[in-house]
Homo-oligomer: A and B are copies of this chain.
Amino acid sequence: MAKKLIGSAIIGQSGGPTSVINASILGAIKKALEAEEITRVYGASNGIIGVLNDELYDLNLEDKNELELLRYTPASALGSCRHKLHDDDDYEYKRILEVFKKYNVRYFFYCGGNDSMDTCNKISKYCIKNGYECRVMGIPKTIDNDLYCTDHCPGFASAAKYIATSIMEISLDTRVYDYGNISIVEIMGRNAGWLAASAALSNINGMGADLIYLPEVPFDLEKFIDDVNDIYEAKGKVIVAVSEGIKDKDGKYISEYNNSKKEKDKFGHIQMGGLAQYLANAVKLRTGAKIRGIELSLLQRCAAHLASKTDYDEAYLAGKAAVENAIEGISDKMVAFKCSRGKNVSDYKCEIELIPLENVANYEKLVPQEWINKEGNNVTKDFINYVLPLIQGETELPKENGLPRFARLKKIIVK
């Protein structure tokens, strides 16, 4: 066993919100508060930005009951960021180390996606290079489910459950009239189509998406219109799920067909949106059908009222495991899931594994081609078998006045 490392801990959140990212930090916070090695538990205000700005919350001062509500509270309770550390000089790394030293920070836990694991990895390397002992652990989080080396990511399953449930409800809604209609539902996912693929779950109970288009398959607008029209002529009602990140064979985003001046974020990712309406117009021109574009928008990633219990339980465990392992002497790892599935949903088992940060950072895991049908417009039974165990169980989110009772932290800044 590694030597006991005594000092304080910083816990931070980064990247886009999910329904269960706060369950992960709850697991980390609770374990850190009870660990005798950890002298004080700080929350970074807006992730690494909070470290750079020396804006830390004293989590020891939070009410225990409010902390417990983090399990059911969506978005990032400590605040998030999309800050990419400057690599051309080490100014920011120096500053981080300065703040770590100021608070004797010996544990750094960072919950996020690809870019955040990269941040973790670089901070860890910098500390080692400068002879400062700090154990750095990544806690996975992303609705996109595109992190490498893990069966799946916390946050994905709750988004998948929201998408599948909503499409079932939309499907019933659009079937009430005696005339035909087509609905095109736009789903998040820049390069990986895991979320759009989850629309296939809506068909398990007999009502849902007819066609599914993922970024993993080059998108052909003419073929798409033919696909939609074939189902429209056969059944009169069509539900289509499309990933916001579908691209043509030349790699151009279809959402860009409509607008050449798309904004890019700080990581150079193009801002998506408006695709459903574009495709709806294209289909309408050809078929003349009544057609509606529906963007699930922010709700797919923050609708905690539909979170999967499996998801938030696993998210909690991932946060807890990060702290447990760091105390044991582990560093430079991301907590990952190794899962097995059997014939029945209940055969599902999930274990924690630890993956070197550099193996995770900046790789994107895509939906395997063998889980996509030959036509490139739906997913196979293997995908369903993969995702179905993850969406099991309902949230126990407490209600007040018939509405969610989300956590209200004091967030007292350390002076």
Chain A interfacial positions (CB closer than 8 Å to B) = 13, 17, 45-46, 49, 73-76, 79-82, 161, 164-166, 168-170, 172-178, 183, 201-202, 204-207, 274, 277, 292, 294-295, 297-299, 301-306, 308, 345, 388, 391-394, 399-406, 408
Once the chains are docked, how many angstroms separate the CA of A13 from the CA of B173?
Answer: 13
Once the chains are docked, how many angstroms separate the CA of A277 from the CA of B274?
Answer: 10
CB pair A299 B169 closer than 8 Å: yes
Once the chains are docked, how many angstroms separate the CA of A274 from the CA of B345?
Answer: 41
CB pair A400 B295 closer than 8 Å: no
CB pair A298 B292 closer than 8 Å: yes
Once the chains are docked, how many angstroms separate the CA of A205 from the CA of B73?
Answer: 13
Once the chains are docked, how many angstroms separate the CA of A388 from the CA of B401?
Answer: 7
Once the chains are docked, how many angstroms separate the CA of A164 from the CA of B305?
Answer: 12
18 pairs, CB–CB < 8 Å, chain A vs chain B = A17-B173, A46-B177, A46-B178, A73-B172, A75-B169, A79-B175, A79-B176, A81-B178, A165-B305, A166-B303, A168-B403, A172-B406, A202-B403, A205-B405, A308-B402, A391-B401, A391-B402, A393-B402
Say which residue of B161, B172, B177 sits within 8 Å of A403 (CB atoms).
Answer: B161
CB pair A172 B17 closer than 8 Å: yes
CB pair A49 B178 closer than 8 Å: yes
Once the chains are docked, how many angstroms separate the CA of A206 from the CA of B299?
Answer: 19
CB pair A164 B403 closer than 8 Å: yes
Once the chains are docked, how many angstroms separate the CA of A327 from the CA of B49?
Answer: 70
CB pair A406 B176 closer than 8 Å: no
CB pair B303 A404 closer than 8 Å: no
Once the chains are docked, how many angstroms separate the CA of A168 from the CA of B74?
Answer: 10
Which residue of the partner chain B has the closest CB to A294?
B297
Report the copy number of this chain in the oligomer: 2
CB pair A176 B401 closer than 8 Å: no
Once the chains are docked, how many angstroms separate the CA of A401 from the CA of B160?
Answer: 13
CB pair A205 B170 closer than 8 Å: no
CB pair A173 B301 closer than 8 Å: yes
CB pair B305 A298 closer than 8 Å: no
Once the chains are docked, how many angstroms separate the CA of A165 from the CA of B397?
Answer: 12
Question: Taking the nearest CB of chain B, how far is it from the CB of A50, in angstroms?
Answer: 9
Question: Taking the nearest CB of chain B, how far is it from the CB of A226, in angstroms?
Answer: 25
Max count, chain B CB within 10 A of own CB: residue among A74, A183, A202, A298: A298
Question: Taking the nearest CB of chain B, how far is it from the CB of A165, in angstroms?
Answer: 6
CB pair A173 B75 closer than 8 Å: yes
Residues in B whose Cβ lies below 8 Å from that of A393: 402
Which residue of the partner chain B has the closest CB to A302?
B173
Question: Taking the nearest CB of chain B, how far is it from the CB of A301, in angstroms?
Answer: 7
Which residue of the partner chain B has the closest CB to A14?
B176
Question: Taking the nearest CB of chain B, how far is it from the CB of A114, in angstroms?
Answer: 18
CB pair B204 A401 closer than 8 Å: yes
Max count, chain B CB within 10 A of own CB: residue among A45, A165, A176, A303: A176
Residues in B whose Cβ lies below 8 Å from that of A174: 298
Say which residue of B82, B345, B402 sits within 8 Å of A177 (CB atoms).
Answer: B82
Max count, chain B CB within 10 A of own CB: residue among A74, A204, A297, A303: A297
CB pair B406 A205 closer than 8 Å: yes
CB pair A404 B165 closer than 8 Å: yes
Known: A46-B178, A82-B177, A175-B75. A298 touches B403 (CB 8 A): no
Residues in B whose Cβ lies below 8 Å from that of A80: 176-177
Say which residue of B81, B161, B292, B404 sits within 8 Å of A205 (CB atoms).
Answer: B404
Residues in B whose Cβ lies below 8 Å from that of A306: 305
Residues in B whose Cβ lies below 8 Å from that of A45: 178
Question: Taking the nearest CB of chain B, how far is it from the CB of A410, in angstroms?
Answer: 13
CB pair A177 B298 closer than 8 Å: no
Which residue of the partner chain B has the closest CB to A273?
B292
Known: A177-B80, A400-B205, A403-B161. A170 touches B298 (CB 8 A): yes
Known: A177-B81, A305-B169, A404-B165. A399 touches B388 (CB 8 A): no
Once the chains are docked, how many angstroms separate the CA of A391 from the CA of B404?
Answer: 12
Max count, chain B CB within 10 A of own CB: residue among A301, A308, A393, A399: A399
